[in-house]
Structure 1
């Protein structure tokens, strides 16, 4: 049964670290510019992401969904509020410690792949761990690359791979370090339908089979339907939620109501 769009409850006060949560935020604000030119991208967002779940974030263009994910992933600093990632309060970390935390606990998949062109697929996959001074778990590396169908493409450079293969390399790179959270910003945006479904299937399998936590920004109701829940944003606020693998038509209807300004 589909769960209807629900108001997101307010969570006042400082959030205590919760082992059941992969990442959480309280009172999150992000403003760009100042004075009359100021743009409020996030306007007091509270959100909890339980471990071992697949969450999609959706909303109209300019709703703040990518900004939210970038702040949760420690890629951007909020103007106010707090983010707790894998039990660590990010507000107390300087740039160097934030960088180390991202390398150790965050995986990120970009729409544009962001692969290093002179490196092979295997070298791209291992690169973040090596930069962080870590070692690659050979068994997990083999599991990830086999599951993604990359075994016979590991010696190829990005220009020798299709767009779908490049995105699968990017997903493998994000998964191989076993991050606390894998964030994905429009991971299927540059892919055809079949390849996009392959990537989504891998993300969902990472959650179901390996207990991974995934947070994905998407504009596609079909992609969102692969998630355990969909968070809906408008005007920098979290305004609703759909639970239980909502059908694409349900997601599309919720987005239409958001665009009309009549979301529940």
Structure 2
């Protein structure tokens, strides 16, 4: 698994039982190299969000194995999975998930503080500066535009220097200009900060910002293009 931030090996995920069972992932094998920006695409019901949830340790698999770096998630306890998600995985969601009573800086640092970790001041400054948030750190979410809120969410995902950032439709709630700003930053975080980003999206414009594109259909890989394809 050297060189891979995350990987899925022969992963199967089934919802339901008997005649109503749905095979959301059907023997998927896929590697996500470090320092790459990968889009997972596909129509509704193709398994793209399920794959992301399994890779991130948010959902369990029914067959196969999932790794973050060298760590096999399939053998971890709930407590170990919680620690792994907290310490080694970053998340960016469509809905921002910011706390309205906290300002931007407090939202960015919340995960680290809950984990009892102190931020690296130089890295914090780099992330905030790259995202153009220095003048917005004292503003609460209600005082920020949608694009600014999503940039705060991106900063929160990156400030702990995770192995991989999972972004689930991160531009889905944004207008085209704000969406482009967020995608530009995610691309910059990969190319200039060395981050690994895996993004679920249905939008081909969003996918055009990435290095690699994986298309799922009926729980299987239907197409794979870009670097490392």
Under a length normalisation based on structure 2, what TM-score does the superposition of the two structures give?
0.97
Counterpart secondary structure, 1:136? coil
The answer to whether the aligner puts 1:93 opposite 2:71 as a matched pair is no
1:70 Cα offset (Å)? 0.8
Corresponding position of 1:173: 156
> Unpaired runs of 5+ in structure 1?
1-17, 245-264
CA distance in 1, matches of 2:121, 2:112: 12
The RMSD of aligned alpha carbons is 1.2
Corresponding position of 2:188: 205
1:37 Cα offset (Å)? 2.0
Counterpart secondary structure, 1:177? coil
CA distance in 2, matches of 1:39, 1:115: 33
1:216 Cα offset (Å)? 0.4
Post-superposition, which runs of at least 4 consecutive aligned residues in structure 1 deviate over 3 A?
Answer: none
Corresponding position of 1:182: 165
> Unpaired runs of 5+ in structure 2?
none
| Farther-moved stretch of structure 1 (53-62 vs 143-152) | 143-152
CA distance in 2, matches of 1:158, 1:36: 46
Under a length normalisation based on structure 1, what TM-score does the superposition of the two structures give?
0.84
Given candidates 63, 68, 83, the residue that maps to 2:66 is 83
Q: Which has the larger radius of gyration?
A: 1
Counterpart secondary structure, 1:45? strand
CA contact (8 A) 1:86 1:105 kept: no
CA distance in 2, matches of 1:29, 1:126: 35
